[in-house]
Chain A
Amino acid sequence: MVDLHASSDSEDIESDEELQQAFASGKLKPGLNVEVQAPKQHINNVSGMKQKLEELEQGLSWIDRLDLTNPPAPPPPGAAMETEDDGADIANNDFKRELRFYRQAQASVLVAIPKLHKLGIKTRRPEDFFAEMGKTDAHMKKVREKLLEKQQNIENRDKARKLRELRKYGKKNKLDFLEDKKGSGKGSKTQNRTEKPHQPNKRRQHKDTKYGFGGQKKRSKMNTKETSADMSGFSRKVHQSKPGKQFTNKNKNKGNRNKRPGKDQRHKMKNKKK
């Protein structure tokens, strides 16, 4: 018979004597006793938290705190009104969740800006106000380039798709006109993207070296005039220095010092460049 007995204070130390005593006093019943962990106690000291909150509050006016509490703004009328499943569901649905946060921020902004205007504070940054921004101009340039690249990719894909469609159903004249504009069929994509001259196919090159002209390397002669005068396998470091010198590092102590400046210097250089 299995008797599950939750561990209590009296049975923390499981020495034989203690167990015997507990059995004698009737706390422990015969049978197999399995120790089960007591359910975890979670603390929620409401009164303590209230008191701390009163202590913490500074009693400042809204302009010093700038905090707003509001539900998310209603979605635009055109959007699909799906029932919001709060909790775990929306936390896993990335798009819905981010939209909800966006709408919450929007609602806050729509409340805060009029409030600030009432207090007579300017909220909009004028065009000629130049000040240090959180992200550098170089970084914003990269972001813009990335966005443009994405847009360009989409446009290219759409154009290519349109062209494919027209090829199937369009007239020849129209096709010629479009092809002149964009370049010929398969090559059009590459020509649109890069302006480099035609480069030989890498795969072709590799196969050429391996198998071209009769698979040269393996069948080549070894002791002809050309091969014996060929010095490409000679390493100056190995042969022209004394034995053992190949592996010593001349610049071990002093050379590297001047090559890469330390962390401090690099930080200063970076700030100077800015």
Chain B
Amino acid sequence: MVDENMGKRSRKVFEQKQPSSGKKDDDNEVILEPVISSDEPPLKQTKWTNKQRVLVFSSRGISHRARHLMIDLRTMMPHSKAESKMDRKDKLFVINEICEMKNCNKCIYFEAKKKMDLYMWVSNCPRGPSAKFLIENVHTMSELKMTGNCLKGSRPLLSFDQAFDEEPHLKLMKELFTQTFGTPNHHPKSQPFFDHVFTFSVSDNRIWFRNYQILEEDGSLAEIGPRFVLNPIRMFEGSFGGPTLYTNPHYVSPNIHRRMLRRQVAQKYIHRVHAKKSLDERKPEETYAKDITDDVFVTIRPEQNNQNG
């Protein structure tokens, strides 16, 4: 009992001495304790309870714009961790193991195919749902039209469109986004004030993402970037696999989209031939009905008659 009391007492002494050392700091001098026991555990910060860690990485073959987008997301999210590029030959299930090794419970994985198409997977790693999106219209933070700036690591406000409360798949996506993109409270790398807001809106069956800086408390904003559009493809019950919960009926894969465009161009000539044919068929032989008796009372002048005759 004596030992416990001693331990407690010494800890209290340690705590009490902290403010006095703070005062010494104000004199621009840091005077350390004469004897510091290494057995004393450091003061634990128990405020950070929501332990969200997001693993943000990509596959090989990613374009420079997508790479900058990924770097921008890492800058915006202080609770993110980086990872080197993954070979696309490996099955996606491997990502769950990578997440476990890095102690992450969320993952944002950028998959680049054909150096043209960019897909984004957002997943809750051990058990939870995952979603695959096609990313379109990427603009990065470093574009000069994005004039806003924010503290690196400040907690973002998340603003969702009303449509997110109407469909079950959107509700699930909203929860996933909130937990992935929202910085946890009292995260050690986070900054105190609230100066930017992420916007998720639904338009044309796609999710539009914007990041604005709060200039004034009355609501004037400036765009910081990045900005991108997510086209939902599928939602899975498990992380990077499992039974499908939702497929997007409006989704057209980029390959099929390109094929349709090429077909349209190829069809141009065929359309023209068809159009000509149909015009020939529709065209009447006579433009208007001609009555022979209309000429009966036309007088032929004598000069014309001499010429003709």
Contacts and interface: CB of A to CB of B under 8 A. Distances in A.
A135 interface: yes
B169 interface: yes
B212 A131 contact: no
A73 B212 CA distance: 15
Contacts of A64: 50, 182, 184-185
Nearest to B217: A113
Given A65-B182, A147-B147, A108 B128 contact: no
B210 A90 contact: no
B171 interface: yes
Nearest to A113: B217
Interface string B174-200: 111011001011000001111101010
A43 B247 contact: yes
Nearest to A60: B50
B264 interface: no
B217 A124 contact: yes
Chain B residues touching A, majority SS: mixed
B59 interface: no
A119 B264 CA distance: 58
24 contacts: A43-B245, A43-B247, A44-B169, A48-B237, A49-B235, A52-B128, A64-B184, A66-B156, A66-B182, A67-B158, A68-B158, A68-B160, A69-B161, A69-B164, A69-B174, A71-B162, A97-B208, A105-B159, A105-B210, A106-B221, A109-B219, A123-B217, A133-B151, A135-B149
Interface of B: 50, 75-76, 124, 127-129, 141-142, 144, 146-147, 149-153, 155-162, 164-165, 168-169, 171-172, 174-176, 178-179, 182, 184-185, 191-195, 197, 199, 201, 203-204, 206, 208, 210, 212, 214, 217-219, 221, 224, 235, 237, 243-249
Given A68-B157, A134-B149, 5 more contacts: A44-B246, A53-B171, A65-B178, A100-B201, A142-B144
